[in-house]
Amino acid sequence: MSVLKRTVFAFTLAGAVVALVLPATAEEQVPPPRLKWSFAGPLGRYDQGQLQRGFKVYKEVCAVCHSMSMLSFRNLAEPGGPGFSEAQAAAVASDAKIQDLDDKGAPTERPGRLADYFPSPFPNELAAAAVHGVAPPDMSTLAKARTYQRGFPWFVFDVFTQYQEQGPDYIAALLKGYEKAPQGFQLPPNGHYNRYFPGHNIAMPPPLQDGQVTYDDGAPQTLDQYSQDVSAFLMWAAEPHLVQRKRIGLQVMIFLIVLAGLLYFTKKKVWHNA
């Protein structure tokens, strides 16, 4: 096994050499603070209450400008998600207006059904860009499409600590990251200064303030709480089967470790006489 040890050693050494030789380069992106997420780690699962609050923030604030075209109303009632009942999800759907064709092929509008996808606020990207300057990104995969550079050696540790929540950390920080532009920072018109946005100039105006969304479950109605809840909701939207994945993962791990152990002793037995 000394070869394996040497390999590990070589990897570590190579990394160390590189890290020592290079001065830390000025990061363009400010790393967001790490938050506690219920869905982190091997036993992680979504907090239903948090997802329901996050959905409320999304529906009342985000959905005004952002589409989430890959989710349908039925997803809201599926296991591992926000835990709405089917009737609740159907009620949410029926509030939405869906563009459709009637029996004679004429365009019509009807209330949504469980099978419908979330309707988008704009008919297409051009229309969205015409209103906002830049088309607000679709939110279906947003929590997996945003991250920040972890850098060496942190990305190596992330393999072992299973840190996979860069996306929600970044989004939560961004929502709270609006500041006055520092002296000398050239902010274009319609731009907003955000501490965590790469390059700091973000087109989206600050979307959330304290007290903006009313919670029914007594959770604090603060920017802090809103941003964390909606980030958790976006993570679920991007990875709706995370809970199932981690649950099966644990079973697979236990199975494989037991299997490998048994095979090890089988191997010892077989080789004993070889």
Partner 1 sequence: MSGHSTYQPQNKFLQWFEKRLPLGGLIHSSFVVYPVPRNLNYLWTFGGILAFMLGVQIITGIVLAMHYTPHVDLAFKSVEGIMRDVNFGWLLRYLHANGASMFFLAVYIHMFRGIYYGSYKEPREVLWILGVIIYLLMMATGFMGYVLVWGQMSFWAATVITNLFSAIPGVGDAIVTWLWGGFAVGNPTLNRFYSLHYLLPFVIAGVVVLHIWALHVAGQNNPTGIEPKSDKDTVRFTPEATVKDVFFLAVFCIVYAWFVFYIPNFLGHADNYIPANPAVTPAEIVPEWYYLPFYAILRSIPDKLMGVIALFASIVVLAFIPWLDTSRVRSARYRPLFKQFFWLWVIACIGLGWLGSKQPEGIYVIMSRIFTVYYFAFFLIVMPLLGIFEKTKPLPNSISESVLGAKA
Which residues make up the interface to partner 1 (CB under 8 A)? 1, 3-4, 6-7, 10-11, 13-15, 17-18, 21-22, 42, 70-71, 75, 137-138, 140-142, 144-147, 152, 158-159, 162, 164, 166-167, 198, 238, 240-241, 244-246, 248-250, 252-253, 256-257, 259-260, 263-264, 266-267, 270-271, 274
Q: Which two tokens stand for residue 156?
A: 């190596």
Least Cβ distance, residue 263 to partner 1 (angstroms): 4
Cβ closest to partner 1, residue 131 vs residue 252: 252
Cα Rg, the chain, nearest whole Å = 24
Cβ closest to partner 1, residue 216 vs residue 271: 271
Residue 140 one-letter amino acid: S
Cβ closest to partner 1, residue 31 vs residue 198: 198
Least Cβ distance, residue 4 to partner 1 (angstroms): 7
Alpha-carbon gap, residue 80 to 262, rounded angstroms:
34
Least Cβ distance, residue 22 to partner 1 (angstroms): 6
Q: DSSP labels for 58-73?
A: HHHTGGGT---TT-BG
Least Cβ distance, residue 190 to partner 1 (angstroms): 19
Cβ closest to partner 1, residue 141 vs residue 212: 141
Q: Please, are residues 232 and 54 in contact by the beta-carbon 8 Å criterion?
A: yes
Q: Please, are residues 45 and 83 in contact by the beta-carbon 8 Å criterion?
A: no
Residue 210 — left, alpha, or beta (φ > 0 → left; ψ -120 to 50 → alpha)?
beta
Cβ closest to partner 1, residue 130 vs residue 250: 250
Q: Which of 120, 109, 116 lies closest to 69 in space, CA to CA?
A: 120
Least Cβ distance, residue 218 to partner 1 (angstroms): 32
Residue with tokens 């191997």: 267
Residue with tokens 């649950």: 247
